[in-house]
Chain A
Amino acid sequence: RKEVEQDPGPFNVPEGATVAFNCTYSNSASQSFFWYRQDCRKEPKLLMSVYSSGNEDGRFTAQLNRASQYISLLIRDSKLSDSATYLCVVKSPGGYNKLIFGAGTRLAVHP
């Protein structure tokens, strides 16, 4: 089983749509979770951390289900500028903060 698994997409949605991405992770001891956004040939940029209670940042909502080892990202009212690859990222248990990346889910928002 892959350490972090995501549906690669692509998700093609119109502007204004709501889209949800899912991610599963294999190590139940993992404690920290993130969503990063990556534009083509650019660096990953932190979108948001994911907390157990769920958290929201504007149009973006992240949820964590530890029992199912499942993380989600919901984007409401999609904008053209949301087109990117969304990376599910898990911090490896242990002391040195190594990040384990999923392969990413590609989102294309069209007019």
Chain B
Amino acid sequence: GAVVSQHPSWVICKSGTSVKIECRSLDFQATTMFWYRQFPKQSLMLMATSNEGSKATYEQGVEKDKFLINHASLTLSTLTVTSAHPEDSSFYICSAASEQGGSEAFFGQGTRLTVV
């Protein structure tokens, strides 16, 4: 299957700082990228969907100003957690899909964010 690279795999930051997570599709053009948040032993909660060159579509209850998503190219999307607080600590996963490649989405390795 296609490869999606997510970086960093883990990050620790101080409360009040911002953290950027990158999601890259390495061997295909991702027309759509999804950002999920996963709490321990729980499911993936869809946070937002981004399409290249367009503003991200956020799910209800997700703060747009807190979780900034940029999808500047067909191979790169970024999630920036602004003014991070301990309650933002979580596992964040991105996935990428190409309509030319079929219906499935390919996942990054995930990022463990810890805010101290």
Specify whether A and B are partners.
no
